[in-house]
Structure 1
Amino acid sequence: MQLPRVVEIKGIRVLTTHQIAESYEVKEIQISQNFKNNRQRFIEGKHYISLSGDELRAFKNQLEKIEVVKSRTSHLYLWTEKGALLHAKSLNTDKAWQVYDYLVDFYFRIKEEKSILTSTKPEEKELLEIDNPIRVFRELMELAECRGIKVQSATLQGYKSRLKDDKIAIKNNLSMNQVIFELAYELSHAIIHDKCGNMLDKEDWDKYHQRAWRAAFMLIEALSIKVAWGKGN
């Protein structure tokens, strides 16, 4: 399932009517009609954010190529996580509920979860002490080559790295230590979970993440020792 492009306003992730209709596989008019029929249940600032005038024009400019609704609209509603829930309730289809759960886990809350992970990663402090990170990076690249995995840099939204099939993409402009960890992390996924398919769609995603996380730390430690030993001989 493909995630919609990230749209944020005032630090809050939202969805346009077009995006939520596309995700729930309904027409935009159905989302608008849901809102009209259940207007008393929708609370501004909680379920939706309303834009008009200069604020709407500024928002459209920042969207670039994201389709909002009609280009000449004078009023725009942006739906929050709780707004998306009310629409799922109104539609009450298996597809809407399935997509809503997916959006909660991997669209609305991924930013919050990643900030928690970032603030509690003890290994990132350890990575600062890697002796000769270039050589450790080369060792990881050799491992990737041996596994038939291609590694490349990419412009990623919401992630520092991604693994798909036999390819690893690492976000541009990371520090060398961050690149090392992300490469080790995705290689750990590729080696340990090679027959698990798309892990992001599974309920046990957090277990997969924690397992690869620990394995990455151990892999970096082992390679650091190898590099240090090689220097002394």
Structure 2
Amino acid sequence: MQNEIVEINSKEVVVKEFRGQRVITFKDIDRVHERPSGTTRKRFNDNKKHFILGEDYFVRNSDEAKEEFGVTAPNGMYLITEQGYLMLVKSFTDDLAWTVQRQLVNNYFKQQTVHSITYQYPVSPAALESATNAGRLFERIMKSEGACPHEIAMVVKSIFNQAGIEVREQFIKIPAYEQLALDIITR
């Protein structure tokens, strides 16, 4: 996710993650809060005794910053967690700060839930016809061999799935009378 970008206060912020959580840099905080460069670092240093390393912030040396984030940081790089950010900007009390804080918490630190989407691609008429013909052929052969209807349905479903046509499970149910027979056999 290193290339994901979130817009905060009309400024693009590249999402940074470290140890499974989103983090932000002093430079990014200064930029989105429209503060002079170095403001956030100064506030952090003034209150460093209140911050917990590994909980509120992480430190990467210059080599690690370059390797992990592609950032040249001669003095190392501080990565501020959401908790550290909220503590750090307590002193930013102007109206813009309140707006930016809300945007950062809701749009940056809270990772967006990824929803799985299944796409049904259009199936060509030729593929549909081929699958239908194969299904009918297997149905005739399996009936002649004495296969149960649900077994035939499972094979036909497999043929359709291979052609890219989804057949839902609800259409492949073992009839109650066959289920009773199966229960008797398995006892």
Scaled to the shorter chain, the TM-score interval is 0.5 to 0.7
Trace 1:52-131 onto structure 2 (pairs within 5 A). 52=61, 56-64=62-70, 71=72, 73-111=74-112, 114-115=113-114, 118=115, 124=117, 127=118, 130=120
User: Which residue in 1 is equivalent to 2:28?
Assistant: 19
Structure 1 residue 134, shift from structure 2 partner: 2.7
Which structure has the greater CA radius of gyration?
2
- Please state how far the C-alpha of 1:100 moved relative to its aligned partner: 1.2
Give the total of aligned pairs: 115
35, 39, 42: which one pairs with 1:30?
Answer: 39
Unaligned runs of 5+ in 1: 136-233
Report how far residue 107 of structure 1 moved: 0.8
Alpha-carbon distance change, 8 to 29 in structure 1, aligned in 2, over 3 angstroms: same
Counterparts in 2 of 1:59 and 1:97: CA distance versus 1, 3 Å: same
Q: Distance in 1 between matches of 2:91 and 2:83?
A: 13
The Cα shift of 1:3 comes to 4.0
Match of 2:5 in 1: none
Note the alpha carbon deviations across 1:175-227, whole angstroms, 9 max, x for none.
Answer: xxxxxxxxxxxxxxxxxxxxxxxxxxxxxxxxxxxxxxxxxxxxxxxxxxxxx
| Secondary structure at 1:110 match in 2 | coil
Q: 1:108 to 1:72 in 2, by over 3 A?
A: closer
Structure 2 counterpart SS, 1:103: helix
Counterpart for residue 41 of structure 1: 50
Kindly state the Cα deviation for residue 72 of structure 1 after the two structures are TM-superposed.
5.1
Letter in 2 for 1:61: E
Give structure 2 stretches of 5+ with no counterpart. Answer: 1-9, 124-187
Cα RMSD (Å): 2.4
Greater helix content? 1
The equivalent residue for 1:181 is none
